[in-house]
Amino acid sequence: MSLLKETQKDSSIKNIDNNILAITESYLKEFVAPVASEIDQSSEALNEALQGLIKRSLLSIKVPKAWGGLEADTETFYHFQQLISQYSGALAFLQVQHQGAVASIVYSKNEALKEQYLSKIVEGKLLCGLGFSQLRRKGKPMITATPMNGGYEINGTVPWITGFGFFDAFLLGASLPDGQTIRAMVPFQNSHQDAGGEFLVSEPMKLGAMQSTNTVTGTFKNWFLPSDNVVSMAKEGAIHENDKKIVLFPSFLVLGCAKAGLDIVKKVAQTKQLDFIHEGFNHLNEELNYCQEKIQTAITINSRSFEDDLKLRVWAINLAQRCANAAVIVSSGAANYYNHAAQRVYKEALVFTVFGQTTDIMKATLEQMVYN
């Protein structure tokens, strides 16, 4: 029994820049795939992989050409994300933080800030992370911004900032007294201001997956934020509205993880020559291609509904979990080694399951697992 052939790229998606994707895949196959387990565990190895993306200008993929970036279209960008997560979840998770911050700067109305940051980003001299997930939490704000002359006084704790030691700055989300929120660029380093304000970073968290990404907690105490650093301002609850608009897009990272699991199953099928492994691969691969096709089509439809996007996101999550589990199953006891590819992908599926999770995603993911 032969393995089902991989589905070719959908020729109906006409905007995809195949040159960017070819450069990306070539780099990932040659330099990232052979050391994916090391990248997952070692910050030094992860940084080397990140530098490889920078040298190929791939971290400026969404920066407009007017600023020297690649200005890739939406379809290319999300296929780029999928490729990276297929070869290294840690690298995908780290760089997507940077891409998110860059997108906010690109769309900012603060032209002076764009002048300050975008050219450095394109030159690979400045990397940015994200620190605003706390805005999703209900109740008392975790980070407050109190207006004062020339800026804001920042107080509170950011529970999750990825990329300490990799990123030079991060996009902070803070709540104003009237409920509005601001997002602003903050240096990603321990700092003590002359007026007494301080920003302190914890030791990297001990995580079950992607430890190398150096995720930390950051605490502000009477820290002065200049108004010039503000990227954007939004009404209260805007993050929840935006979460619904973009609920589908992280599916590409999830699909990449699913592909990583199936790559392992395919490799085992070729060595063990057991019909049921071939059959399992064929079944999952066919479903993955179908899911991929549905999501690719969906992102080109402007009038799609949140409910439909949510179903596709949950389907991708479930599929990644099953593909990762299949990789563990066919790898047998060897999957229990800490540096085995199946274990790494299994953990990556955990991370991508809860990446950008909202209550709606949590509910739908759990219901899919329990009732389907």
Given a cut of 80, is residue 269 above it in pLDDT?
Answer: yes
Residue 204's pLDDT is 96
Residue pLDDT, tens place only, 290-320: 999 999 999 999 889 999 999 999 999 999 9
Given a cut of 80, is residue 6 above it in pLDDT?
Answer: no
Is 241 inside a domain boundary? no
- Coil, helix or strand at residue 192: strand
What is the CATH classification number for the domain harbouring 186?
2.40.110.10
> 353 Cβ partners below 8 Å, 6+ apart?
254, 317, 320, 321, 365
Given a cut of 50, is residue 8 above it in pLDDT?
Answer: no
Distance CA 38, CA 15 (A): 35
| Domain carrying residue 220 | 129-234
Q: Are residues 360 and 269 in the same domain?
A: yes
Percent of the chain with pLDDT over 90: 88
Is 316 inside a domain boundary? yes
- Coil, helix or strand at residue 17: coil
Q: Are residues 322 and 345 in the same domain?
A: yes
CA dist 189 to 44, 118, 125, 128, Å?
18, 20, 16, 12
Please name the residue ranges forming H helices in 179-249: 238-245
Neighbours of 354 (CB within 10 A): 11
Residue pLDDT, tens place only, 77-90: 999 999 999 999 99
Full-model pTM: 0.92
Residue 287, φ and ψ in degrees, nearest 5: -65, -40
Is 291 inside a domain boundary? yes
Q: What six digits make up the tokens of 276?
A: 């049921």
What is the CATH classification number for the domain harbouring 309?
1.20.140.10
Please name the residue ranges forming H helices in 110-182: 111-122
Are the CB atoms for 219 and 155 separated by under 8 Å? no
Residue 372's pLDDT is 75
Which contiguous run of DSSP H or E holds residue 96? helix 89-106
CA dist 157 to 173, 222, 234, 370, Å?
11, 12, 20, 35
Q: Are residues 97 and 204 in the same domain?
A: no
Are the CB atoms for 92 and 39 separated by under 8 Å? no
Q: What is the mean pLDDT of residues 318-338?
A: 94
Given a cut of 70, is residue 140 above it in pLDDT?
Answer: yes
> 334 Cβ partners below 8 Å, 6+ apart?
340, 342
Q: Are residues 113 and 94 in the same domain?
A: yes
Of residues 162, 326, 302, 176, the one with CA closest to residue 236: 176
Residue 285, φ and ψ in degrees, nearest 5: -65, -40
Q: Are residues 98 and 7 in the same domain?
A: yes
Are the CB atoms for 316 and 272 separated by under 8 Å? no
Q: Are residues 309 and 227 in the same domain?
A: no
Given a cut of 90, is residue 16 above it in pLDDT?
Answer: no
Q: Are residues 149 and 204 in the same domain?
A: yes
Given a cut of 80, is residue 115 above it in pLDDT?
Answer: yes
Are the CB atoms for 123 and 69 separated by under 8 Å? no
pLDDT tier, 10 (very low <50, low <70, confident <90, very high otherwise): very low
Q: Are residues 77 and 40 in the same domain?
A: yes
Q: What is the mean pLDDT of residues 269-280?
A: 93
| Phi and psi based region of residue 172 (left: phi greater than 0; alpha: psi -120 to 50; beta: remaining) | beta
Residue pLDDT, tens place only, 48-70: 999 999 999 999 999 999 999 99
Are the CB atoms for 327 and 345 separated by under 8 Å? yes
Q: Are residues 91 and 105 in the same domain?
A: yes
Q: Could you say which of 204, 234, 264 is where a domain stops?
A: 234
Given a cut of 70, is residue 15 above it in pLDDT?
Answer: no
pLDDT tier, 93 (very low <50, low <70, confident <90, very high otherwise): very high
Given a cut of 60, is residue 4 above it in pLDDT?
Answer: no
Most distant CA pair in the chain: distance in Å? 73
Q: Domain total for the chain?
A: 3
Q: Are residues 4 and 119 in the same domain?
A: yes
Are the CB atoms for 249 and 299 separated by under 8 Å? yes
Supply angle C-alpha 352, 120, 185, rounded to 5: 60
State the chain's mean pLDDT as an integer. Answer: 93
Is 239 inside a domain boundary? no
Residue pLDDT, tens place only, 185-244: 999 999 999 999 999 999 999 998 999 999 999 999 999 999 999 999 999 889 999 999
Q: Could you say which of 109, 125, 141 is where a domain stops?
A: 125
What DSSP character marks residue 124?
T
Is 220 inside a domain boundary? yes
Distance CA 56, CA 67 (A): 16
Given a cut of 60, is residue 117 above it in pLDDT?
Answer: yes
Are the CB atoms for 136 and 160 separated by under 8 Å? no
Which contiguous run of DSSP H or E holds residue 232? strand 230-234
158: which strand partners? 218
Given a cut of 50, is residue 133 above it in pLDDT?
Answer: yes
Is 253 inside a domain boundary? yes
What is the CATH classification number for the domain harbouring 43?
1.10.540.10
Residue 12's pLDDT is 36
Q: Which of 54-58, 133-137, 140-144, 170-174 has the lowest mean pLDDT?
A: 133-137
Is 55 inside a domain boundary? yes
Distance CA 273, CA 275 (A): 6
What DSSP character marks residue 164?
B
What DSSP character marks residue 195?
T
Residue 150's pLDDT is 95
Q: Are residues 220 and 270 in the same domain?
A: no
